[in-house]
Structure 1
């Protein structure tokens, strides 16, 4: 009976490791100010999934507001690279940063989506990979960055896995 219990515990640990999140982040939290004006800049879509970056941006906007960033500007649609009708890259990110500076923003969140899909196979597990960074627009220095990946179970929604990953990544912000 004790052996069966140990085997079941080991199997449970292995199953949990299968959906683990890999996060690496750096933060200069003394510099970051939630009361400052922030801008959400375009997120690059490095996946084959159309509009993955737009989905990530919507989730990031919610997560930032939830963390007390109330003055949050969202870049103009004309700077978007991730449109359904023109799936080319956005205009250079320098244009978006320049727009944020002109709006008086102090910090800008940007990054990229590396994976945003359901894996191929019988189970079709959702998988998400994202890299984020916060730029101090007064000097162009990256003051915080994080990168992570997460996969879920076959019956989980891709958006649920993405929300969990983004919440984990922004947890150190």
Structure 2
């Protein structure tokens, strides 16, 4: 009887150890991410920038808005740039959009150009972009997945001076990363790449 109890106890410990090992392995793999980006821009302290509402190419209604708000937060936290307030940008964007006779879907930029917005706001740069994936890859682990493109426009010339495209797949099952959490990580990394050469 003692032998049987010891056997079950050992088996239980073995299963627990195996489960712990599986959990650690799942957590240690981290995010799977791909990023392509051009050379970072060298900014001077206090350079003005506005974040245009991101274009939403997903089925998630709030994806574009979430991404642009995350970009504003990342810029304010991790740079010395002078970031225009979201309400000021949104008000100006909505005003320009309503004046346009072009028919556009919500969140698209066909009616309002980044340069036009930047000139009215009086900023040096406008950061804009699009969200092409924002949700879960359903399957065994239901992993959160986000894909974002960003472009930095120099208002004086109207040219794209920096661009990046990145996709990230977070951890499912054990870590239970949410889409918003990995979106924040992705945006932070992309903005850090852009401002790497900030003086």
Q: TM-score range by the shorter chain?
A: 0.7 to 0.9
Q: CA deviation at 1:95?
A: 4.0
- Residues 75-94 of structure 1 aligned to structure 2 (within 5 Å): 75-77=89-91, 78=94, 88-90=106-108, 92=110, 94=112
Compare the two structures and name the one with the higher strand fraction.
Answer: 1
1:47 and 2:58 matched: yes
Residue of structure 1 in register with 2:124 after alignment: 106
Structure 2 spans left out of the alignment, 5+ residues: 1-20, 98-103, 195-199
Among residues 51, 54, 71, which one is paired with 1:60 in the alignment? 71
Among residues 188, 192, 197, which one is paired with 1:167 in the alignment? 188
What TM-score does the superposition give when structure 2 sets the normalisation length? 0.69
Deviation string 1:78-112 (CA, Å, 9 cap, x unpaired) is: 268xxxxx963435264453132122111000011
What TM-score does the superposition give when structure 1 sets the normalisation length? 0.78
* Distance in structure 2 (CA, Å) of the matches to 1:136 and 1:34: 16
Q: CA deviation at 1:34?
A: 4.5
Q: What is the RMSD computed on CA atoms of the aligned residues?
A: 2.6
Instruction: Flag the structure with larger Rg.
Output: 2
SS at match of 1:156: coil
Residue of structure 2 in register with 1:115 after alignment: 133
SS at match of 1:27: coil
Q: CA deviation at 1:121?
A: 2.1
SS at match of 1:129: strand
Among residues 170, 176, 179, which one is paired with 1:158 in the alignment? 179
Is 1:38–1:73's contact at 8 Å kept on the other side of the alignment? no
1:33 and 2:52 matched: no
- With 32-41 and 54-63 compared, the bigger mean Cα shift is at 32-41
Is 1:50–1:87's contact at 8 Å kept on the other side of the alignment? no
Among residues 129, 134, 139, which one is paired with 2:157 in the alignment? 139
1:24 and 2:36 matched: yes
Compare the two structures and name the one with the higher helix fraction.
Answer: 2
* Distance in structure 1 (CA, Å) of the matches to 2:114 and 2:37: 24
Q: Structure 1 pair 108/34, CA: closer, same or farther in 2 (3 Å)?
A: farther
Q: CA deviation at 1:53?
A: 0.4
